[in-house]
Chain A
Amino acid sequence: MHNAVCSEIIKFRRNKMAWVGTLIIATIPLFMIWNRLVIDPQREYMEWLMSVLMLNTLILPIVNGFVITSNMQREYQDRTIRNVLTAPVSREKFLTAKLVVWFLWYLISFCLSEVIVIAGCYILFPVEFTTRNMRYALSLFTQNNFFSFIVGIPILLICVKQQALFYPSMLATLGSAVLQAAGLQVSEELILPACICPWTAVSISGMVGWGTQYWRICTITITVCGIIGFIGALVSFKRQDQ
């Protein structure tokens, strides 16, 4: 497993899409800091924070989907998958290593983004820059980003199925991002169905309180979605005969 992960790290290091993705993710809070400083200096702390979160909710899943699509599609396009499938490495390990390194990249990117958000809070809102507020902001962003990654795992299944193509997973990525952003606008009457849909549940989980019934439903839905996505990708990859 260690060797499979190391191989993936070598590939990710040279994956331009991953570098561009990290840059885009870091640019969101930077853009919002610039926006508050130059265009809208009157914007309140909470309003600013929610704007960053909304942009994050929309852009992060798109970048995330594009990165895994480029990583998987390259295996089929360059036909390196043939060398992989004939190597004495289990397909489970290969795909798990991909998931692990993909998550590591995602973790680094969103941590960088969160550091910039906190720095932005420090620069823009020195009065509101309290431990309590920062803890809330960090937990909100971390939960949202983490859940967003989990509901993005089914993209891996699409990537395995589509092989050298890329547009099915791109479309699914865009769809997933739109649903996640739509989750922020859900009315109170529709909150239960929105909790059951894993992609809208990501946004709902940030709006309802921790440990509430809705939060639990969201967490279960999101977890099930991630598990099904990964198991589906594994089964599909195991059945593949390139």
Chain B
Amino acid sequence: MHVRKGRIYGLLGRNGAGKTTIIGSTIESPSFYSNLTATENLLIFSRLRGKVNENKICDALGVVGLPYQDKKIFSKYSLGMKQRLAIANAIKNDPELLILDEPTNGLDPIGIAEMRMLIRRLSHECGKTILISSHQLSEMEQMVDWIGIIHEGRMLEECSYQQLEENRHSYIRLIVKEPEQVYEYLKKTLSIENIKRPEASVIEIYDLKYGTLELNSRLFAAGFAVAEISKCQNSLEDYFKELTGGAGIA
């Protein structure tokens, strides 16, 4: 694994792929004293680490948006607040590397968006290097700079998110009335090689020698009725399936 300083590295894999085993740390289920406040909890764990600096505790709570010296006890917190407290606990000693295992697990959409913003802020504003493991592809897409795809305990691919974007295939998706004839026409007349038919009336063209406009004109000229034509890109999930040999994300 190559985790670059100051970047957000996403470790992606199915349930049981070995993500948690690899990183060996977790905030998947935040564990704090339910009858104590956030400040008291952080104070206890700071003391156990032998570094008690109340200013740092205050700063850490401020970064994650939780109040300092609040009287609300941990058991009254929402899951999102619990996750943020877990991050505050992790950053209170100002570490360079943060390891977050499934930080958005169980959060509602707003909680997920807040967590995403927090993680980005930690990286971009506080300069933290962050390693996140998740099986939520859509989340990873919106957060990470680098990505590692793990399957059955093996790292299958490791690249920047930009490279991943480039690796994802673009294709033209057609919905036509006479798919058989159109398929033959594309193959024989237009000499297009890489064509797939995922559904009866749907044709996917991966050989992009013609643009959508030109292809539509040619099909129209040949007398075919085109119901829909669009340029698409493989989703990260499709790419993930391709890499793992068909095993989809859980």
Footprint of B on A, CB under 8 Å? 3-4, 6-7, 10-11, 14-16, 74, 78-84, 86-89, 94
Contact = CB atoms under 8 A, between A and B. Distances in A.
Contact of B47 (A7, A81, A82): A7
Interface stretch (B30-38, B121-129, B207-215): B30-38
B43 interface: yes
Which 7 A-B pairs give the minimum distances between C-beta atoms?
A79-B31, A3-B47, A87-B48, A7-B47, A7-B44, A89-B48, A80-B31
Contact of B36 (A4, A6, A10, A87): A10
Given A3-B52, A10-B40, A14-B40, A74 B33 contact: yes
Nearest to A3: B47
Contacts of A74: 33-35
Contacts of B48: 3-4, 7, 83-84, 87, 89, 94
B50 A88 contact: yes
Interface residues of B, number: 18
Nearest to B24: A86
A58 B40 CA distance: 35
B68 interface: no
Contacts of B25: 86
A87 B32 contact: no
A89 B47 CA distance: 9
Contacts of A11: 33, 36, 44
A78 B49 contact: no
Contacts of A86: 25
Nearest to B41: A80
Contacts of B50: 3, 88-89
A4 B48 CA distance: 6
B120 to A, nearest CB: 26
